[in-house]
Structure 1
Amino acid sequence: MPSARQYHAPAVPATAVVKKAPGVFRKITFQLKFHTLFGQELFIVGNHLLLGNNDLAGALSMEYENGDYWRAVIELNEAQCTDQEITYNYVLKNADGLISFDWGADKKFNPAKLCKAETIFYDAWNYAGYFENAFYTEPFKQVLLKHNHTAIKSDHVGKTTHVLMVKSPLLQAGQTLCILGNTVELGNWDTVAPVLMNRQEGEDCFTASLDLGHASFPIAYKYGVYDTEKNIFLLYEDGDNRILNDPGAKNKQVTVNDGFTILPDNTWKGAGVAIPVFGLRSEQSLGVGEFTDLKLLVNWARTTGLKLIQLLPVNDTTATHSWTDSYPYAAISAFALHPIYLNVEVLAGTKNKTIRQKISKERERLNHLPEVDYESVIKIKWLIIKELYAEAKNDFSLHKDYQDYFEQNKHWLEPYAAFCHLRDLYGTVDFNQWPQYARYDAAAIQTLIGSHQDEIGLHYYIQYNLHLQLKEATAYAHENGIIVKGDIPIGVYRHGVDAWQNPELYHMDAQAGAPPDDFAVKGQNWGFPTYNWERMREDGFAWWKQRFEQMSYYFDAFRIDHILGFFRIFSIPMHAIEGIMGHFVPAIPVRINEFHSRKINVDLHRFIQPYISDQVLWEIFGHDNDLVKKEFLQSAGDGSYSLKPAFATQRQVETYFATLENDEHHQKVKTGLFDLISNVILFEAEQADGMHFHFRFGMENTSSYRHLDEQTKQALHELYIDYFFRRQDEFWKKEALLKLPALKRVTNMLVCGEDLGLVPACVPDVMHQLGLLSLEIQRMPKASHTKFFNPKDAPYLSVVTPSTHDMSTIRGWWEEDKTTIQQFYNEELGEPGTAPYYCEPWINKAIVLQHLHSPAMWSIFQLQDILGISEQLRRENPGEERINVPANPRHYWQYRMHLTLESLLAANAFNEEFHGYVIASGRLSD
């Protein structure tokens, strides 16, 4: 046997903190081995009064003993020993106030079922970053691993002195855990007849009740895997022996929660497909993908061995009733579903022949279009929905299922429906312009609802039927062993119901965006207000909890869009148009004395005002510079210029040019003025005291910086590097740890973070601590010293993909930059010679196979990248495969599959080929 390792505490005197109740009936002791540092404290919180009723303010304090052991005791009277399950967790409080939770929901007991006067729990801390925890999220428990459960009929134990508990997520059907040890009761290491453990369906832990009343202590033991069908022992867990020291006593029961077995639990791998719902095409849909089309996609995924379908946001974006509403990340509600995804033919049923004929006629026209005609589709759907509602409005609300739905969702459904009614009544979603109800008032809205029941009821009707169709589609996915992954946008729409209903949760005087990168050289301005995290924290992130709960109705996993926003957000002032004008919030600013200490001559006007000279004007405007001087600038008399007050901000310039013809000349001048306004080195910090500043991102690319003397440039560069890449890291880490752990605790969905862009050094550590899956993209390496990321280097808790909806597909990328592609061809694919001009099917396949064979938990592909393997199925023009262009704020989101799902399902040769690749890569398939 392997050498012994002490795993549990020896018996120690009960000197711990005790919460007493009059008339002690049951005594419960909690003991945890956990190495702490000076200033750290441990608590126990749970759904019982003595454990704080899940409120940290009343949590049970633990007392440090010796050898890194912590201990606490509660005493219950007979009235408190109710037949109710108590779930508890350990909590670590750091000296700086940050809180860390012991993860999982498997630490629990029922006081009424405790058979001894005293029970002691020896527990193991469950670090949230253990990858095994991923397998206890809903998608694995309810779908992917659900059928692996093997029930065991336990041998009856006359009395129980010890209960052993442990988790082991990846046992196959027909397998269970067993215990072997150096005592007669544990078989003296005999593998022929070990003690079998049982896991109740729906529970996480394998358990075994033991009578060790006559055993000699300490006991060495290990867990093993047993095949219940062949009745043979398979293998021991790795690691040293575990040690049980506490012999218990006549009126005392010992329960040991050992955490996880030491088995290779990073072997499960799955593959998935990503496509927006609007991009689906079927013979029965009406010009756009619909929730009902997901069933056909499920059938194809099952055929090819895929286990996951990833979608873009599906929330309602109806702000203008025009094509600009096609942007799925600008939802007018974080809860409501988009009416465009409703299958109106299913809603009409078989009896309504007139409407069905109308649908059939429109379908023939719209389904022949290569892309989504958003305005035509939404117009015809609204006409049909209103006809159907007129027939159903007196009946649908009487159904109990609807009434249950309404009660569960009324906290957002009523404000949303009222908002939609007012939007259409006043012709705008900008509630600030409404003559009435510009400020949300719950009582006034209830009166409005009562007086406009028909108009507002229309939106109840739509949302309920969208709910039914999406719920049915995801249930169908589950029945076929496939999970569905949703997407949570980082922001909310400025003129949406969330901002109207709860404006205090957002900074309405700011705009969220992203700094410049290779995909958007002037940054991105999403226009969303930024979150007021301080206010959200006051009520325990109640809005986020509701949002996650809503997601859980339909999705098993979700992607957090721009998770970097939980560390810091790129905040852009309202007077700016381009993202380049923003800075990170929160951020530690540069103090004026730091310039002095680095011998930088601080000319504040020179650094914070646009630098405009004749040379700069010629570089930007060429022969138009005289016109610009005359119309928009004023001379300072020293060869420099400043903008006239009427054109001092990008917003003012935008407003002015909106009144002029949108021709090439005016666009050139407007863009040039934007460039002048952003030609600064510093932004004055919010304190506005002239003492604190933020660097403009990409300072070194400005002519303002280039025209400085070399000594000043070098000193500024060093301070710039310190500002962006050194001083903020611990600060941003703490910001994330104040938000993300609390948010992750309110959901048991699998959480993936979109951690792309300018990634602070602290991000990987925080995501690892919390067990969040990262996103790894081959052409966007996170390491600055390399051009590409190799999928074989991916961490296990990650998603690897060759492209996302925000970038070109594999084939499109291949035609963008021939120098980059040549390097990729030779170094990453290992191919000699000149790279082919076009991405031939074998190249596309090679890249897909690289990702399939990655050690990452998930490899997920845009459907376009999968079809790129096939010469017969791929789209002719790869430029038509792209879904979004982030650099274009007015991009029309209208991508649609070029072939139907029915024809894809009928492509047997390709489906079998791809299924073979999935199986060969070790990514599981039925």
Structure 2
Amino acid sequence: MILRFTLPFRTAWGQRLVVCGSLPSLGHWNLHQALNLHYLPEHGLWTQEISLPDDQLDPVEYKYVLLDEGDGGQHWEWGPNRTISPDANRFTRIVLEDFWRAPALPENELHTAAFTKALMRRPAPAAPAPAPASATNGVVRFQLSAPRVDSNHQLCVLGSDPALGSWDAGKAVVLTDADYPTWRAEVALAHPEQTAQYKYGVWDPAEQKIIHLEAGEDRLIYPDANQRTLRVKADDHFRYPTGNWRGAGVALPVFALRSRRGLGVGEFPDLKLLVDWAVATGLKLVQVLPINDTVATHTWVDSYPYAAISVFALHPQYLNLDAVAELRDAAARQELAQLREELNARDFVDYEPVMNAKWKFIRQLYQQEKAAFLADPAFQQFRQEQQAWLLPYAAFSGLRDRFGTADFSQWPEEYRTPAKVAELLREDSPAFDEFGLHLFTQFHLDKQLLEAVEYARQRGVVVKGDLPIGIYRHSVDAWTQPELYHMHQQAGAPPDDFSVTGQNWRFPTYNWERMAEDGYQWWQQRMGHLARYFDALRIDHILGFFRIWEIPGHSVEGLLGHFSPALPLHQHEIEQRIGWFDYGRLCEPYIRWHIVQEIFHGQAQPVFDEFMEANEHGVIRLQEHVRTQRQVEAVISEKIRQDPANTDHYTWLRTGLYKLINEVLLVPDDQRADFYHPRITLHLSRSFRELDDHTRTRLHELYIDFFYRRHEDFWRRQGLIKLPAVRWATDMLICGEDLGMVPESVPGVMKALGILGLNIQRMPSDPSVEFGDPARAPYLSVVSPGSHDMSTVRGWWEEDREKTQRFFEQLLGHWGQQAPLHCEPWVAREIVAQHLASPAMWAIFPLQDLLALHEQLRRSDSAEEQINVPANPTHFWKYRLHLNLEELLQQIEFNQDISSLVTTSNRVQVY
């Protein structure tokens, strides 16, 4: 059998095309031995043919690759491997009429799980169109990859040849979706010797008619008189006449869900109610915050969802007890009912009482169900499939509770590594129940979440998860694979609108070099596990894949950090740029008496006497025991412990000492001597202000070059090295949270990888504007009026009257009018409508911002709607929806109002 490859493609000088694939003649996936294609300029085609062995039965897999001899580039076409199955009984020749699948096309993202498994899910494969099994001449296989087809519709092909209906729409050939998102039909043309025209269409099987015929010129089938030839028309995209697909969604953490069946906190089955509400309002996506287990201290501190003790395990707070089993003990059932009534009556998630109740009844259910649970084939399968993370997690959780801490460095020596995991998890061990409890909890959490996600998919709703950028320092991940992390460093974020001193998340940073050694296996496992539950994913702080803000272990705030990886400045370069170098003046805290007075006012002298020392030149240093912020933190914490009545004073004192420690201009690199990073926002420091004019100008120029020019290509290459392994590990739709100090290269890399960006109106990516305009957002993006790290629209409206007035005039178009004091429902409506009208693929709204449209439904105090306050490192994550979801579903007028807004913006229609 002859297999001929053909591909229309216009190359530039020095470029050529090859085919790489599974056969020896295609290089066995070795690009250096791939099949070279020849260019036919009269047809604009690259082509070549090979002979297949007579006994070739397995499908042939292949891909086209563009080789650029100019820069050595090897550009593989986008998408999965192509396949073709030989059929030697019918054909002696197969002609593959392919099209180049270009990367970075918006249509490519329609092939993600968000579309193929939820939005455009296929209820059941349609019966294939009758294939001309006996025909061997004039056979054409129409093949089109098109995920954007409504679940109730099919694709068809209509054309000029009688076999294609002679343009009679009632006689169109319906394609099968057996290999969705690829559609196929095999047709024996009546007149293969003639050129035929054709187009694809959307077919409504219920009405037996074409409801959309694709736009553009007719496609062509050129004459081919060869006998026993199969022509495979692997066509490019369906040409939709209605423009890009766009959808809308709602964002709410799972813990914030409220239902009558919950226990003071949202639970996985509650997602079904939120999905029902999304369906009622025309919303196509439900976005949640991270759902991993954060139980480290058994206190309210564990409410922080970005500090997971396992990147795989689910949080026990989301377990619905009734869905596990009914408690057999009547007294326990009565106690549970009473606690449910008490905890559900609270306006916030009272984390500790909720978790105490959960653990109490989980333990009872475990003992009650233990025998049946351990014998359950479903559990045995779950344990076998998930053992790589499940068994270490169960051991870690049991040891955490046994020793009263998640800090495994404080455990007895024999448990500081996971060497004893298998022994601890033996079911005949006397202590097994300490660990089996966590196997039981994770099994049922997994079961309940999978059920909720499948419920959403069946209703055409995408569930979008959240991947935290960091891992918790005292976690299973750090316990089992400490070599993957820099445990002596801390990850965070530089100063931004959320925090003027930066954010210190206290997570270790990643050892990317070590991760690269096995092809980023840890990341691929992590992404694969998330794809078990989600069809779309938000990557928190995606900038961390380009460079992370790394803070030394001795810092509490973020100002003394630096980007990593980076290209620090050598001492000689600094001397050349500013004219001098003095370590004491540039790298040690700049403290003078007038600065001490400015910070501590009337308390300056006693503060100096207790914490500082000076030399004869008036240079002041902090005493040795308080020279780092961690030292200060420890000293002040002890003072508060001994004298809690004066906590406010000590907190003020601590803040002042932190400010003094931050008064540096250069931060020494922790890897190389004589290399330095400019301190972030150094131009705002007192130390900078008190330099001479000449030095200030030169240092500021160096600062701008360092942060905005020096690293651009370097960080672009970092992103292109790390992100592909994460991006292509699954078929999830990936969205990146790219807010803050964004390198210029980030949008280009994200676009090349098909990762959607985030556009928050209050944090525009364009530094020249105060507010972002949703109308200017690119298609591959998400627009939103806010996030969980911000006040809601109502809260923000009241924070700065002058800014609100400018927004009211410039973005909402009310020039010369006075903005209302509060965000009235009609204002909230205008903001929602503005986002819905955006060209962005997704408009996603915090549920609080949608409830703002209804005077009676929204919360009376807008301040209580905010989920997180990033500037407060001890923030208690306790936000809870003030309405039961069951009640929200009954708000017919409100739901129809949201549905009308979504429908009017064309974010409901498939086409």
Which residue identity is paired with 2:577? Answer: R
- Alignment equivalent of 2:564, drawn from 585, 601, 607: 585
Do the aligned residues in 2 keep the contact of 1:489 with 1:561 (CA within 8 Å)?
yes
Percent of pairs identical after alignment?
A: 43
Alignment of 1:107-186 (within 5 A): 107-111=82-86, 115-146=90-121, 153-154=129-130, 156=132, 158-159=135-136, 161-172=139-150, 173-174=152-153, 176-178=155-157, 180=159
CA distance in 2, matches of 1:422, 1:86: 52
What is the Cα deviation at residue 62 of structure 1?
4.4
Q: Which residue of 2 aligns with 1:857?
A: 841
Amino acid at match of 1:799: V
Please show how residues 3-402 of structure 1 align to structure 2 within 5 Å. Answer: 26=1, 28-32=3-7, 61-63=34-36, 65-66=38-39, 76-77=52-53, 81-82=57-58, 85-91=59-65, 101-105=76-80, 107-111=82-86, 115-146=90-121, 153-154=129-130, 156=132, 158-159=135-136, 161-172=139-150, 173-174=152-153, 176-178=155-157, 180=159, 190=167, 196=173, 198-211=175-188, 215=192, 219=195, 221=197, 223-225=199-201, 227=203, 237-239=214-216, 247=224, 249-250=226-227, 253-264=230-241, 266-349=243-326, 351-402=328-379
Q: Which residue is 2:684 aligned to? A: 701
Provide the rounded CA distance (Å) in 2 between the counterparts of 1:435 and 1:93: 57
| 1:878 paired residue number | 862
Q: Secondary structure at the match of 1:491?
A: coil
**Is structure 2 residue 725 aligned with structure 1 residue 752?**
no
Q: Between 886-895 and 539-548, report the one with greater CA deviation.
A: 539-548
Partner of 1:600: 579
CA distance in structure 2 between the partners assigned to 1:702 and 1:39 by the alignment: 53
C-alpha distance in structure 1 between counterparts of 2:498 and 2:903, whole Å: 35
- Aligned 8 A contact 1:47 1:86 in 2: yes
In 2, the alpha carbon distance for the partners of 1:87 and 1:802 equals 45
3-state SS, counterpart of residue 501 of structure 2: coil
Cα distance in structure 2, aligned partners of 1:616 and 1:70: 73
User: Per-residue deviation at 1:287?
Assistant: 0.9
Q: 2:658 is matched with which residue: 674, 687, 704?
A: 674
2:500 corresponds to which letter in structure 1?
A: V
Query: Which moved further from structure 2: 126-135 or 155-164?
Result: 155-164
Query: What letter is aligned with 1:203?
Result: Y
Q: The residue matched to 1:509 in structure 2 has which SS?
A: strand
CA-CA distance at 1:233 after TM superposition: 6.5
Q: Which amino acid aligns with 2:541?
A: H
Which whole-Å CA distance do the structure 1 matches of 2:323 and 2:139 have between them?
A: 60
Alignment of 1:825 onto 2:801: no
Which of 644, 653, 668 is 1:684 aligned to?
Answer: 668
Q: SS where residue 186 of structure 2 aligns?
A: strand
Aligned mate of 2:621, from 632, 638, 642: 642
Counterpart residue number, 1:6: none
- Aligned AA for 1:669? L
1:701-738 deviation per Cα after TM superposition (whole angstroms, max 9, x unaligned): 11111111111111111121111111211211111111
Letter in 2 for 1:445: V
Matched residue, 1:478:
457
Q: What residue number does 1:780 align with? A: 763
| Alignment match, 1:576 | 555
Amino acid at match of 1:821: T
TM-score, normalising length: structure 2? 0.91
SS in 2 for 1:660: helix
Compute the displacement of 1:116 (Å): 3.9
Q: Is the 8 A contact 1:418 1:456 kept in 2?
A: yes
Q: In structure 2, the residue corresponding to 1:499 is in which secondary structure?
A: helix
Higher mean displacement: 675-684 or 801-810:
675-684
Counterpart residue number, 1:4? none
**1:796 aligned to 779, 795, 817, which one?**
779
Q: Separation in 2 of the partners of 1:892 and 1:900?
A: 22
Per-residue CA deviations over 1:204-251 (Å, capped at 9, x if unaligned) read: 22334355797458x575534265666766776455665667948446
Separation of aligned partners in 1, 2:761 and 2:496: 16
Given that 1:841 and 1:870 are in contact with CA atoms closer than 8 Å, whether structure 2 keeps it comes out as yes
Q: Does structure 1 conserve the Cα–Cα contact (< 8 Å) formed by 2:192 and 2:223?
A: no
- Per mean C-alpha deviation after superposition, the further-off stretch among 61-70 and 547-556 is 61-70
- Cα distance in 2, alignment partners of residues 505 and 50 from structure 1: 40
The 1-side partners of 2:313 and 2:27 are apart by 35
Amino acid at match of 1:631: E
SS in 2 for 1:395: helix
C-alpha distance after superposition, 1:25-53 (max 9, x if no partner): x5545454556678878665666787787
SS at match of 1:642: strand
Q: Which amino acid in 1 is paired with 2:773?
A: N
Alignment partners' CA distance in 2, 1:647 and 1:98: 54
State whether residues 484 and 510 of structure 2, in contact with CA within 8 Å, keep that contact through their aligned partners in structure 1: yes
- The 10-residue stretch of structure 1 (547-556 or 857-866) with the greater mean CA deviation from structure 2: 547-556
Separation (CA, whole Å) in 2 of partners of 1:110 and 1:440: 51
Q: CA, structure 1 residues 224+164, in 2 after alignment: closer, same or farther (shift >3 Å)? A: closer
Q: Does the CA-based 8 Å contact 2:539-2:736 persist in structure 1?
A: yes
SS in 2 for 1:393: helix
Partner of 1:518: 497
Contact 2:203 2:212 in 1 (8 A): no
1:729 maps to which residue?
712
Assess, with a 3 A threshold, how the Cα gap between structure 1 residues 392 and 97 changes in structure 2: closer, same or farther: farther
Q: Secondary structure of 1:200's match?
A: strand
Structure 1 position 65, deviation (Å) = 3.9
C-alpha distance in structure 2 between counterparts of 1:47 and 1:299, whole Å: 46
Note the alpha carbon deviations across 1:500-521, whole angstroms, 9 max, x for none: 1111111212111100011111
User: Would the aligned equivalents of 2:118 and 2:456 in 1 still touch at CA under 8 Å?
Assistant: no
Equivalent position of 1:446 in the other structure: 422
Tell whether the 8 Å contact from 2:202 to 2:212 is kept in structure 1 after alignment.
yes
Contact 1:154/1:198 (CA < 8 Å) preserved in 2? no
> By how many angstroms is 1:439 displaced?
4.2
The change in CA–CA distance for 1:205 and 1:147 in structure 2 (over 3 A counts) is closer
Segment of structure 1 superposing worse, 533-542 or 713-722: 533-542
The verdict on how the C-alpha distance between 1:602 and 1:415 changes in structure 2, with shifts beyond 3 A counting, is same
- Give the deviation of 1:190 after TM superposition: 4.7
Aligned Cα RMSD in Å?
3.0
Alignment equivalent of 1:544, drawn from 507, 523, 526: 523
Q: Show CA shifts across 1:754-792 (max 9, x none).
A: 111111111111111121111111111111111111222
Contact 1:143–1:483 (8 Å) recurs in 2: yes
Quick one: distance in 1 between partners of 2:801 and 2:746? 32
Distance in 1, matches of 2:411 and 2:385, equals: 29
Say which of 497, 514, 532 aligns to 1:535: 514
- Of residues 899, 907, 911, the one that matches 1:923 is 907
Equivalent residue pairs, number: 892
1:418-442 deviation per Cα after TM superposition (whole angstroms, max 9, x unaligned):
0001111111111111113454344
> In the alignment, is the contact (CA less than 8 A) between 1:154 and 1:196 conserved in 2?
no
Change (3 A) 1:824 1:599: closer
1:678–1:893 Cα change, 3 Å: same
Displacement after TM superposition at 1:92 (Å): 5.6
Is the 2:509–2:550 Cα contact (8 Å) retained in structure 1?
yes
- Counterpart selection for 2:795 from 812, 824, 828: 812
Structure 2 distance, partners of 1:312, 1:366, is: 22
In the TM superposition, residue 632 of structure 1 has moved relative to its aligned partner by 2.5
How far did 1:601 drift? Answer: 2.0
Partner SS, residue 429 of structure 1: coil
Deviations 1:803-847 (A, max 9, x none): 111100111111111111011112212224221111111111111
Question: Match for residue 653 of structure 1?
Answer: 632
Question: Matches of 1:48 and 1:437 in 2, distance apart?
Answer: 52
- Kindly provide the CA deviation profile for residues 598-642 of structure 1, in whole angstroms up to 9, marking residues without a partner as x: 353222332122111222222222233323333323324322222
The structural deviation recorded for 1:539 is 1.6
